[in-house]
Structure 1
Amino acid sequence: MAGGLVTRPWGERSTQRAELNRTVDQQNRPIFPDSDRAMVETVQRIASARGVLMAQIAMAWVLKNPVVSAPIVGATKPHHLTDATGALDIDLTAEEIDSLEAPYVTRRPTFF
């Protein structure tokens, strides 16, 4: 998800970049609607239970998807690469995957 949405608790904007990111598209629709909150909170719960970073759970979730051939890592600092490669060691359970996918809500694309 854009802007590291699933790498920190819902509503936390800890970086200058996050403060500068747009929150609505040109049609004034939210880029990160409230329906995403349940997904972010599920990532946070699983990461906390496993003692790993939310970013690692998010990347492990992407990596388990058979249609993703090359996940994009938006690394802006060296430790982001270390965090991302840590996801390679995480094998999500079927229950964890189901809980991550359950709150997903299909929506129209947002445009900048």
Structure 2
Amino acid sequence: MATSDYFLPEVKFYNLLHREEEREMLPLCADQGIGVIPWSPLARGRLTRDWDATSARSETDEFGKSLYQESDRQIVDAVAEVAGARGVDRAQVALAWVLRNPVVTSPIVGMGRDKHLDDALAALAIELTDDEVEQLEKHYTPREIAGFR
């Protein structure tokens, strides 16, 4: 089979805080049978902790500081609420949301600790309800495309 006979996966920036690929690219990928490998599905850790909490990365990541806005706090809070109601970690909920998109083949998840791998694997077993998805998505506001120019 020649390389031109099949499609390679598309790598995209996609998470609950940045959903711009849903407008055109993800529907195109679905139509053409192209898998999507999202990077930063946890929004550089923003979706895994309280909005005001900091980490070594959040303190030093200048590019990351430009990606998110104060209104994203409501989405981070919604992730915390859904995770709390289910008794699971926030990372599991955020990853489960990404994984529910049928064009997503495998998100790129950083594994700096064993717990990160545990959360990624546990997310595979989580099936979010329609009400949970609505709760997670309702505060999203469109923004500029990020990650490339």
Does 1:44 pair with 2:44? no
- Provide the rounded CA distance (Å) in 1 between the counterparts of 2:93 and 2:146: 25
Counterpart position of 2:10: none
- Provide the rounded CA distance (Å) in 2 between the counterparts of 1:24 and 1:53: 22
3-state SS in 1 of match to 2:72: helix
- Please identify runs of 4+ aligned residues in structure 1 that moved more than 4 A: none
- Provide the rounded CA distance (Å) in 1 between the counterparts of 2:110 and 2:141: 24
The one-letter amino acid of 1:104's match is: Y
Does 1:4 pair with 2:38? no
- Return 69-78 or 35-44, whichever deviates more: 69-78
The structure whose residues are more often strand, as a share, is 2
Counterpart position of 1:73: 109
| Structure 1 spans left out of the alignment, 5+ residues | none
Counterpart position of 2:8: none
> What percentage of aligned pairs have identical amino acids?
44
How big is each residue's C-alpha offset from its partner over 1:61-108, in whole Å with a ceiling of 9 and x where there is no partner?
011011212211111112210111111121110100111111111100
Aligned ranges 1:1-112 → 2 under 5 Å: 1-13=42-54, 15-22=55-62, 30-110=66-146
The one-letter amino acid of 2:141's match is: V
Conserved 8 A contact 1:38-1:103: yes
- Provide the rounded CA distance (Å) in 1 between the counterparts of 2:127 and 2:135: 14
TM-score scaled to structure 1, two decimals? 0.85
* Count of equivalent residues: 107
Question: What's the CA shift for 1:42?
Answer: 0.4
TM-score scaled to structure 2, two decimals? 0.65
3-state SS in 2 of match to 1:89: coil
| Structure 2 spans left out of the alignment, 5+ residues | 1-41
Question: What's the CA shift for 1:24?
Answer: 6.9
Question: What's the CA shift for 1:18?
Answer: 2.2
Conserved 8 A contact 2:89-2:119: yes
Larger radius of gyration: 2
Computed over aligned residues only, the root mean square deviation of the Cα atoms, in angstroms, reads: 1.9
The one-letter amino acid of 2:70's match is: D
